[in-house]
C-alpha cells in the first residue's frame, strides 16, 4: 500500500528543493560546513519520507534503516565499496565527518511529519514528476558539479643536471603516481602518444616525455588536465617553469591527499599554498638525489662488461607469454593486457624498465619487479627471466601481498 498523496506535503517538496539547490548551486559557490550539513538534513528528511510514501506500511523500518545506512556511510568501512564503484566508472564520493550525525534528528522529524493525518493535494502529473525527480536528487547528492579554476604561477625552478635527466625523473614520478591511483580510477595508456588518460575519455592525466622528439635547445611544453609546465636546458643544467595550475571543485574523495598532480587541493588553498604543495610533492622529489643511481649503474656496467646485457624485447615477449599462461587469474590477465602496449625505457637511475616492470640484478640473477597498491595492501609481482642457450624464459612468477601498515 502506498500513500503517494503525501508527496504533496510542502515540507517534503521544500526538503527536495533544498537538496537540489544545495548540491548543484550552493556547494559549488560556497563549499563550507553549512552546505554540507544542509545537504544531510534535507537528504535524510526527503529520503526517508519518499520511500515511506511508496511503502507506507513499513514507514518505521524505513526510517530506522535510513538512520543505520547513514551512520555506516559516514565511516571508513565503506571505503572499499567507494573505491570499487569509482574504479568501475561510477563516480561516488562522501566526506567522513562524524559531526554529521547531529543531522540524524531530521529522520525523526520526517517520521512525525509523515504520520500526520493532514492531507495535501497535487495534480497527478506533479506527483509523477516528484516520483522521477526525487531519485535523481538522491543519486546526484554525492556528486556536485565540478568547477575548474586556473591559477597563473610563472615560477621557474633550476636543476644542476641535464634536461634529459630532468625528463627521465619526471617520467619516473608520473609512472609512480599513475600506479598509486589505479586502484581508485580507471586509466588507459595510449602507446602511440605516450598518454595516460581516463578510460573512455581523451583527457591527459600524464604524458611520458620523449627527449628524442625535440632538439637539445628546444623548450618542451607539457600540458595535462592539472598543470602546464615548460622544460628547457642543456647537457649541464635544466629548468622547469610552472606556468599554470588547474584546480577542480569539489575535490575528488577517492584519492589520497599526497597526490598533488592528480588530486588537486581543495579550493580553500590559495595560489600561494598551492605553489607550496607543488614544490613539496613535485620539485622536492625532482631535486632529491637518487640513492639507487650509483648501485643501478654498477649493476648495468657489470652486465655490459660481462656481455650479459639482456635483450629487453625478448624478455618482454616471454614475460607476456608467462602472464597469459595464467589468464585464469584476473590480476595476471590484467597485467598481461597492460604489458602489451608498454614501452621499454631507462629511468633516471639508469635502471631499465619494461612498462611498469623494473629490471634488477640480485645475487647474479635477473629479476623483474612490479609494485602496486590495492586498498590497504601493497602487491609485489616478481618474475625471474633466465637465458637458456639462445632463448629467454621466465623461470617463475611470484606474488607477494604486504599490508601497508606494516
**Which pLDDT tens digit goes with each residue over 16-56?**
888 888 877 776 566 566 777 888 898 899 899 999 988 88
Q: Which of 143-152, 290-299, 314-323, 348-357 has the lowest mean pLDDT?
A: 290-299
Cell readout for 256 is 589520497
DSSP state of 347: -
- pLDDT band of residue 271 (cuts 50, 70, 90) is confident
pLDDT above 50 for 101: yes
Residue 236: the pLDDT is: 84
Give the integer Cα–Cα distance in Å for 101 and 97. Answer: 8
Residue 257: the pLDDT is: 39
Q: How many helices (H) and strands (E) does the chain have?
A: 13, 13
Pair 23, 39: CB distance under 8 Å? yes
| Residue corresponding to grid cell 605553489 | 275
pLDDT above 80 for 97: no
Estimate to the nearest angstrom the gap between the alpha carbon of 339 and the chain centroid. Answer: 21
Residue 83: the pLDDT is: 67
Backbone phi and psi for residue 41, each to the nearest 5 degrees, phi listed first? -60, -50
DSSP state of 76: G
163, 166, 170, 171 alpha-carbon torsion, rounded to 10°: 70
Residue 5: the pLDDT is: 78
Cell readout for 358 is 623494473
More confident residue, 2 or 161: 161
Give the integer Cα–Cα distance in Å for 122 and 3. Answer: 13
pLDDT digit string, tens, across residues 164-210: 888 888 888 888 888 777 766 667 777 777 788 777 677 777 888 87
- pLDDT band of residue 260 (cuts 50, 70, 90) is very low
Give the integer Cα–Cα distance in Å for 100 and 41. Answer: 9
Give the integer Cα–Cα distance in Å for 30 and 380. Answer: 43
Residue 95: the pLDDT is: 67
Pair 231, 165: CB distance under 8 Å? no
Q: What is the pTM assigned to this prediction? A: 0.43
Burial class (CB in 10 A: 0-12, 13-18, 19+), 240: buried
23 SS3 class? helix
Q: Which residues contact 21 (CB under 8 A, 6 or more apart)?
A: none
Amino acid at each position: 500500500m502506498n500513500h503517494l498523496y503525501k508527496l504533496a506535503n510542502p515540507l517534503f517538496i521544500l526538503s527536495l528543493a533544498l537538496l537540489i539547490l544545495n548540491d548543484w548551486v550552493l556547494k559549488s559557490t560556497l563549499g563550507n560546513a553549512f552546505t554540507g550539513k544542509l545537504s544531510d538534513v534535507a537528504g535524510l528528511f526527503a529520503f526517508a519520507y519518499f520511500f515511506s510514501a511508496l511503502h507506507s506500511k513499513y514507514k518505521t523500518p524505513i526510517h530506522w534503516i535510513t538512520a543505520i545506512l547513514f551512520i555506516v556511510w559516514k565511516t571508513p568501512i565503506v571505503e572499499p565499496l567507494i573505491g570499487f564503484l569509482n574504479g568501475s566508472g561510477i563516480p561516488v564520493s562522501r566526506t567522513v565527518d562524524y559531526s554529521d550525525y547531529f543531522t540524524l534528528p531530521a529522520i525523526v522529524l520526517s517520521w512525525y511529519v509523515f504520520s500526520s493525518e493532514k492531507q495535501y493535494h497535487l495534480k497527478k502529473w506533479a506527483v509523477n514528476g516528484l516520483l522521477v525527480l526525487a531519485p535523481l536528487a538522491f543519486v546526484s547528492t554525492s556528486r556536485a558539479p565540478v568547477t575548474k579554476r586556473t591559477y597563473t604561477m610563472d615560477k621557474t625552478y633550476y636543476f644542476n643536471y641535464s634536461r634529459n635527466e630532468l625528463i627521465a625523473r619526471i617520467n619516473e614520478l608520473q609512472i609512480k603516481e599513475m600506479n598509486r591511483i589505479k586502484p581508485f580510477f580507471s586509466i588507459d595508456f595510449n602507446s602511440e602518444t605516450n598518454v595516460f588518460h581516463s578510460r573512455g575519455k581523451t583527457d591527459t592525466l600524464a604524458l611520458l616525455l620523449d627527449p628524442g622528439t625535440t632538439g637539445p635547445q628546444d623548450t618542451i611544453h607539457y600540458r595535462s588536465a592539472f598543470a602546464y609546465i615548460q622544460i628547457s636546458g642543456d647537457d649541464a643544467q635544466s629548468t622547469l617553469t610552472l606556468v599554470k595550475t588547474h584546480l577542480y571543485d569539489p575535490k575528488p574523495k577517492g584519492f589520497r591527499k599526497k597526490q598533488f598532480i592528480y588530486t588537486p587541493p581543495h579550493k580553500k588553498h590559495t595560489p600561494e599554498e598551492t605553489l607550496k604543495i607543488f614544490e613539496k610533492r613535485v620539485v622536492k622529489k625532482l631535486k632529491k638525489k637518487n640513492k639507487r643511481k650509483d648501485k643501478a649503474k654498477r649493476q648495468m656496467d657489470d652486465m655490459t662488461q660481462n656481455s650479459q646485457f639482456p635483450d629487453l624485447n625478448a624478455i618482454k615477449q616471454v614475460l607476456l607469454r608467462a602472464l597469459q599462461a595464467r589468464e585464469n587469474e584476473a590480476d595476471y590477465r590484467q597485467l598481461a593486457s597492460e604489458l602489451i602496449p608498454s614501452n621499454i625505457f631507462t629511468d633516471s637511475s639508469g635502471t631499465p624498465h619494461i612498462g611498469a616492470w623494473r629490471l634488477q640484478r640480485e645475487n647474479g640473477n635477473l629479476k623483474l619487479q612490479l609494485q602496486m597498491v590495492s586498498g590497504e595492501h601493497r602487491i609485489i609481482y616478481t618474475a625471474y627471466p633466465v637465458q637458456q642457450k639462445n632463448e629467454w624464459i621466465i623461470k617463475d612468477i611470484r606474488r607477494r601481498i604486504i599490508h601497508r601498515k606494516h
